Homo-oligomer: A and B are copies of this chain.
Amino acid sequence: MDSLTIAEQLTVHGIKPSYPRIQIYKYLYTKKNHPTVDDIYNDLIEEIPTLSKTTVYNTLNLFIEAKLVKSFNLDKNEKRYEIIIHDHSHFQCERCNKIYDIPCDDINLLPKEYEGFKVNEKQIFLKGICEECLK
């Protein structure tokens, strides 16, 4: 967690570090899976018995506004969330459903004809079979 505690990290971004917020951030930071709201809720409800999904939604949207977290959609109409780190693609295995983060740092995706376009954000989703499942 760099040299800052999670609470400090949140404060720096103008977010008051309440207990649920810290736990949700820690969850995203340490698990590094790509959870849905349900995943987060179900995993944290043991530790925070009073937690509600509303709070999970509120908190995630707060994090998104602060650009700490981003959301994306796989094919289902259900958002997934992750801490914003370096650029990477997502590879979802069609067999085991695991989502892999694949580095994709300096790939230029714009052909010459589109040189005039300014890219602020890129998201790459791959589907197929992962190495494990191919064995």
Contact = CB atoms under 8 A, between A and B. Distances in A.
A117 to B, nearest CB: 6
Contacts of A121: 126-128
Contact of A73 (B75, B130, B134): B75
A123 interface: yes
A1 interface: no
A91 B118 CA distance: 10
A31 interface: no
**Taking the full assembly, how many copies of this chain does it contain?**
2
A12 interface: no
A104 interface: yes
A74 interface: yes
A119 B72 CA distance: 20
14 contacts: A71-B75, A91-B117, A102-B111, A104-B111, A107-B107, A107-B109, A109-B124, A109-B126, A117-B130, A117-B131, A119-B126, A119-B128, A120-B129, A122-B126
Nearest to A110: B102
B124 A128 contact: no
A122 to B, nearest CB: 5
Given A72-B75, A73-B74, A119-B128, 7 more contacts: A73-B77, A109-B126, A117-B128, A118-B129, A119-B126, A122-B126, A124-B125
